[in-house]
Amino acid sequence: MRLASRNRGVEWSGIRVMFSLADEIPGVINLGIGQPDFDTPEFIREAAKKALDDGFTRYPPAKGFQDLRWAISEKLKRENHFAADPETEIFVAVGAMQVVFNTCLHVVETGDEVIVVDPGYDYYSQIRLFGGIPVRVPAEERNKFKVNPEDIRAAVTDKTKLMIINTPANPTGAMIDGPKLGEIAALARENDLMVLSDEPYEHIVFDGNHHVSIASFEGMRERTISAFTLSKSYAMTGWRVGYVTAPRVIIDEMEKLMEHMVSGVTAVAQRAALAALTGPQGCIQEMLRQYNQRRLLVHRGLNALEGVSCLMPEGTFYAFPNFSKLGLTSWDLAKYLVQEQKVALIPGSIFGEKGEGHLRLSFAADPERLEEGIERIRKGVEALAE
């Protein structure tokens, strides 16, 4: 078969590779999966059932139902502190993932440089697919994995077009506070950069921290594409609903292409999303309370291991412990732990060079499994030290 060469630079996701290893091992405890272990709250499921009976079984509008876009606009005003016109500046997408993909498709051209944070979520394939060059800016562990705006400034060249910001961050759990985000916003304006602000974990923040959206800064809405999702906040990863707010030209491009691509986001999933955004928000607080207990359990458990250290995650449901004292690469260590100790974590090097020596552990799992998982890591670490 003579396939087009376009997709050749795209690699299989390292996370999937790890999961296929884990799937072959009976009794494995998988602490790699980045999704809530909770069920979607009942009132959201009920809304979806009702939507089916109400006839939401036909093609939806390509950019999302109008009432959902209005509800999103209200939410952005209320929680993210910026305005977006529901008719022209909001698009309902197949998760935040589609927003990342479409942004690269609409913005990145051959030779464009795109600034990404290392370690950080894997945006490399999408950037490379459209001929872009990812430029890594370090988020040093000694700086609590927080990116330094001056390092971003130093990475800007006349080829830089886009910068991708993800706070709270996968895999480190680090957050960028308001003043630092303000500095990043200023340098985006000074250098005429576009920003993709990927915010799937906006609600999963601890210790009274507040999530800040970069689009809420003066002069940023006109250069920012903000990606949000129902996946993490409402335990809705399988429903595949997210949304984006951006200047009209980008939303128009997304809508135009959506018609040719998949027509729209599944109607019934959109009705569930509307219920989630307009219904009682207590479910988020309840999940957050449980994530917090697990976060403390994992932080305590990992730091008690000889040769292992772990920063306290400020947001998300990921811990990013440092195993570098053991002297193995993160892939070798992850393979060893899954094959010998039956506990699956994600190798940190998947998230960039600066992730080497670390593993990502998701604490979106029940406390018993977390305790058993940490016990298995302990046995593995001790066996390596012998």
Ligand X SMILES: Cc1ncc(COP(=O)(O)O)c(C=O)c1O
* Closer by beta carbon to ligand X, 103 or else 324: 103
Of 34 and 301, nearer to ligand X (C-beta) is 34
Task: Give me the residues that bind ligand X (CB under 6 A), please.
Answer: 34, 95-97, 121, 166, 170, 198, 200, 229, 231, 237, 242
Number of H helices, E strands in the chain: 12, 12
Q: CB of residue 121 vs ligand X: minimum separation in angstroms?
A: 4
DSSP code of residue 59: P
Query: From the CB of 239, what's the least distance to ligand X, in Å?
Result: 9
Pick the closest to residue 380 from 297, 317, 302, 310 (CA basis): 302
Which of residues 316 and 341 has its CB atom nearest to ligand X in the complex? 316
Q: How far is the CB of 124 from ligand X (least distance, A)?
A: 13
Q: Is the link from the previous residue into 313 a cis peptide, with omega within 30 of 0?
A: no
Long-range contacts made by residues 284-293, C-beta under 8 angstroms, separation at least 24?
A: 284/203, 284/233, 284/234, 287/36, 287/38, 287/235, 288/203, 288/204, 288/206, 290/38, 291/204, 291/206, 291/317, 291/363, 291/364, 292/206, 293/367
Spatial distance between the Cα atoms of 30 and 18, rounded to a whole number of angstroms: 10
Nearer to ligand X among residue 10 and residue 385 (C-beta): 10
Angle at 199 between CA 123 and CA 227, to 5 degrees: 75
Tell the smallest beta-carbon distance from residue 123 to ligand X (Å).
8
Q: Would you state the torsion angle of the CA atoms of residues 145, 151, 153, 158, taken in this order, to the nearest 10 degrees?
A: -110
Comparing CB distances to ligand X, the nearer of 126 and 160 is: 126
Q: Which residue is nearest to ligand X (CB)?
A: 95
Give the nearer residue to ligand X in terms of CB position, either 301 or 352: 352
